[in-house]
Amino acid sequence: MSSVRLGSSAMLKAVQRLGLGVLIITVLSLVYFILMTQSVAKLVQPRHLQKTTPVDVVELARHFNGTWQQNDKAIAVLREELHNCCSTQEDFILTQKNIRIGMNIHYGIQKGKTFKVTSALSRMLPKTSPFSGRRFSRCSVVGNGAILSHSGCGQEIDKADYVFRCNLPPIGGKYAEDTGIRTNFTTANPISQISWIYKGLRSQQGRDKFMTDIKKYPGLLWVSAFQVKAATGISQQALRFVTQRRIRNPALVFGNPQHFINTMNYWKAHGLSNRLSTGMYMSSMALSVCDQVHLFGFWPFDKDPEDQPLAYHYYDKGKADKVHDMPQEFLKLLEWHQEGVVNVHVHKCQAGR
């Protein structure tokens, strides 16, 4: 007990020596630290949002109000990092230049599985990447979210020099006002689309429908042939089909699984824990080849910015994606938007007001 009293007495004398002014400064500093900690916590918290966390969509949408300002310096830094990790312009697409006959291609998702490159495959690949040395002033990356419905964003999307779209979405017709009519780069899923919708190109009916449908997507038709082993056979069959039919528009190309692995590893190191969605992957790719990137149709929530029920796709109800962490990815897009790296459109465009 005596030691406690001695300690208290020593502390009292110390306080008296410090003086009232220093004590006030100390208290104010502590208050400031607490307030700053709370403020930072509010900013950081959304970046760690998980799928199951309730989202205040109205509050989230407010982050996209106002005029977006492009930050050329931030874009240049991110583009340089993506180039150093992934060399997108050269390696995004599988070419005769980045593979050789007899080498083993490692699958992007099925770890440990490989495919030995044959001369037949090599002959059908482009000699070099169609993106090699190219750069576009303005690009639109269009997701398939129902946030596009009644958005009136079609003209804004088509204003771009280059338009990316995902998974053979319906365009034109009744969707034109909201989603535009142009595309230069379109992805196709070899299993859920080429294999199922077009019956693996085994029947004449399936082949005819495939040939008719892909003509709606001029430019490049990108197929992920080497993400999983089950996709390789049907992808090669599709490539043989368009080669034999001499279909050059669209040109069917294969994604490079090593580029996907490198890009996914980069984003894992920057907070994205799950496998990248096609939309997020395309956004990363666009950042490498476009001076200005605009994103449309990215909103992974079942309520719109006004807290009203929202379907999954703009063309059907669909089912929520359980493979990718879309909310986590969207918060990365929000971060980019606020930093001036990409312009994410979640509200109605001028034409739709």
The dihedral formed by the CA atoms of 162, 166, 168 and 173, expressed in degrees to the nearest 10: -60
β-pair partners for 114: 106
- DSSP letter at 222? E
- DSSP letter at 229? T
Cite the DSSP H helix spans in the chain. 2-44, 57-62, 72-86, 88-91, 119-124, 154-158, 176-179, 204-214, 230-244, 257-268, 278-289, 326-339
β-pair partners for 309: 303
φ/ψ region of 246 (left if φ > 0, alpha if ψ in -120 to 50, else beta) reads: left
Active site residue 324: yes
Q: How many CA atoms lie within 13 A of 215 on its CB side?
A: 8
Reading the block at residue 315, the tokens are 């063309």
φ/ψ region of 222 (left if φ > 0, alpha if ψ in -120 to 50, else beta) reads: beta
Q: How many CA atoms lie within 13 A of 97 on its CB side?
A: 11
Contact 177, 152 (CB under 8 A): yes
Cite the DSSP H helix spans in 87-203. 88-91, 119-124, 154-158, 176-179
CB within 8 Å of 6: residues ≥ 6 apart = none
From the candidates 259, 294, 313, 324, give the one annotated as an active-site residue. Answer: 324
Active site residues: 324
